[in-house]
Amino acid sequence: MLEVREVTKAFGSGDRVVTAVRSVTMIVPDGEFVAIVGRSGSGKSTLMNLLGALEQPTSGMIFVAGHDITQLGPRELIQYRRRSIGFVFQSYNLIPNLNSMENVMLPMEYLGLERGERRQRAHTLLDQVELTGGKQTRRPGELSGGEQQRVAIARALANRPSLILADEPVGNLDTQTSTTIISLLRDLAHSERTTVIAVTHDLTLAEAADQVYRLQDGRLTTDPETAAAADSRSTRTQTP
Amino acid sequence: MSIVSRGIRNAFRNRTRTVSIVLILGLAIGLAFAMLIAHRAVAAKESTALSSVGNTVTIGPPGYSAGGPLGRFLTPAELEPIAHLHGVAGVDESISGTAQVPITTHTTPHRPSGGHASFKPGLHATLKPGLKLGSTNLKYPGTAAFATQGLACEPKPCTPHISSYTIYLSGATDPTAAVNIGASTLDIVSGHVISGTTSADVAMVSTEMARKNGLKVGSTFTAYGRTFTVAAIFKTDTQQGNDTVITPLPVLQLLSGQSNEVSNAVVTTSSLNDLPRVTSEIERVLGKRASVVSYVSDAEQAVSDLNGVKTIALDSLIGAIVAAVAVLFLVMVMIVRERKREIGILKAIGSPNRRIMVQFTAEAVTFTLLGLVLGFVIGLIAASPVTSSLVSHSGASSHTGARGLFGAGSPALTRLSDINAQASLAVILEGVAAALLVAALASAASAWLISRVRPAEVLRSV
């Protein structure tokens, strides 16, 4: 479970303080697909960086599986990112001179897994995101945007993280590919019991989420419209 | 793929850039390597020149170093204080004599027994004017060509023909000093070294002299009307040495009518550093009574020119290494800045700084090693012409060394510009070490930049 308690993040000092995230509190159960919507500059990326331990909050606490990650030292933070977090970015951010397989194997290298084991798991994950055959040995530049994002999702899943943070995961994709990626993330959240938090301004993604939050001027609120849609979809899903 | 192999692979990510970097690094390393070879070659030459001078000072009668008529010979009493000077390790006193060998056939040229003949520098030069000549039953061991070599006579060709060969005798307190027989080596091959201060009629002869005369240790021969017993047979490296019989100093002094006289003395100093001071001390003690010869000032003048070459080579070497470090430093800074986002991603997915630094260091080392290979080729090709050019533009090339004994100079100093610039294994290893230092310094810069990359900042723009 992810629990965020009164987290605030401010940049700068003195008269030039800019508060990107203000007293954000939320609780996300394991295996939920959560969307955080908001305009540019609303603090979405800062909140993602806080959850991913890439930034330290100015105040507040963030609990992941019962551990307050704001109290971790540099080495523990590296371990946390390595074992518990998977990142998916809008621009995919794959390593350009590594092929799909090598990109997915990369995080496993940091865990110290044997090469054969890394290759086997990377192969399985790429199959899972439906990137098969010769595409597994192609470099990012030889793949479409949707295919690159599939590789990025496979890489995010490589170390079986408890939390996947997706920053505008469909921002650069066409509608059809976006729908595929959104359902892929949602299915992964439910099947792997992995919490997926996606920040987006894409309503299609928000509509597919189990829970939707709106971030405005750094303040997090539950979005009534998308929340209602999510509730109704949830109800339909649960009805036999 | 290991982190190191990933770093090596990254070095070839942009081939055009890699070729450019390797070319520039290769030129810088090549220049550094050429300068390192030049520096080492010049240093070796300098060392050889200095050691060839040796830590000895030669004392002779007035006129000894100028090549003119010799003045009054020194006495052991006059030389006695020299042995007590600070820094003097030993004093070898010697005197020379000659014995005539009559010519028995007219098929060979002959050395005159006097008259207009003069002799080459060396042992002959210390013969006292009007020296009492002896006779011997020994046969001349050398060739006729050597017997007449250096012979100056007026008018040429020499007339009348020489009527006898001359065998030299050397009496010395140190009978094993090669310098006394005009040689650089003197090795006893049989028998025992004679005492230089005994009054016994014992002698040491060369292997050539022994062969020509059928002598063995214990055999006898006559000279100056006395019968000498061969106590030792030595091997030496010059014909002049082969022609010389070594006796104790007092014996030759007596027989050649030079009692209580010393034709020259070789003073050995404790170290090369003592040489200038001991030389001036001897000059002070003996004043105008003696001629003091030391090549130390010639050597210092000659090597000062080589020192200039060494300084230029060292400065260029440092400059080239600094240039290589600067090139690689800037390249690595550029690469790190270019891949800032990639570094941020690696950190975000759990890579520690150390692993990323290793990867970039492997990339820097790859550039350096490729530059090193090219640099070695350039350096090996350029080393010899660069060294020759540096030496030819220095004073070393014009140094003749013609100041020493009778204008002959020190052989090592006359060929000072003849430098063989070759890469030894040590130089190659030093080159590799310097190149790895270049890579390490440049990598340190990239490591510092990598440690400053904050993933949150670089990913914010994503």
What is the rounded CA–CA span in Å between residue A26 and residue A59?
15
Q: What is the pLDDT along chain A (240 residues), one digit of tens a residue?
A: 899 999 999 998 888 889 999 999 999 999 999 999 888 888 888 999 999 999 999 999 999 888 899 999 988 999 999 999 999 888 888 999 899 999 999 999 988 899 999 999 999 999 988 888 899 999 999 999 889 989 999 999 898 899 999 988 888 788 888 888 888 888 888 888 889 999 988 888 888 899 999 998 889 988 666 555 555 555 544 443
Which residue in the block uniquely carries the two structure tokens 């570094």?
Answer: B343
What is the rounded CA–CA span in Å between residue A23 and residue A58?
10
Mention the CATH class of domain A2-238.
alpha beta
pLDDT above 90 for B150: no
- The answer to whether the peptide bond before residue B160 is cis (omega within 30 degrees of 0) is yes
Q: Taking each helix axis as running N to C, give the angle between helix B340-348 and helix B296-338, from 0 to 180 degrees, rounded to the nearest 10.
A: 70
> Exposed, middle or buried by CB within 10 Å (0-12, 13-18, 19+), for B287?
exposed
Measured between CB atoms, which of B6, B13, B348 is closest to A81?
Answer: B348
Please list every residue in chain B whose beta carbon sits closer than 8 Å to the beta carbon of residue A49: 456, 459-460
Q: Is B15 on the interface with A (CB under 8 A)?
A: no
Question: Inter-chain contact B455–A110, Cβ cutoff 8 Å?
Answer: no
CB B243 within 8 A of CB B141: yes
pLDDT digits (tens, 9 = 90+) for B377-419: 999 899 888 888 887 777 655 544 433 333 334 444 555 666 7
pLDDT digits (tens, 9 = 90+) for A74-101: 889 999 999 999 998 888 889 998 999 9
Residue in B399, B394, B422 with CA at minimum distance from that of residue B411: B399
Domain edges within chain A: 2-238
Q: Is B197 on the interface with A (CB under 8 A)?
A: no
How far is the CA of B188 from the CAs of B185, B207, B407, in angstroms? Answer: 10, 9, 32
Distance from CA of B28 to the nearest CA of A (A): 29
The answer, yes or no, to whether ipTM is higher than 0.90 is no
Q: Is B352 on the interface with A (CB under 8 A)?
A: yes
How far is the CA of B350 from the CAs of A47, A117, A155, A204, B244, in angstroms? Answer: 19, 19, 12, 31, 86
pLDDT digits (tens, 9 = 90+) for B322-376: 898 888 889 999 999 898 889 999 999 888 888 899 999 899 999 999 999 999 9
Q: What are the residues whose beta carbons fall under 8 Å from the beta carbon of A13, sequence distance 6 or more?
A: none
Mean pLDDT, chain B, as a whole number? 80
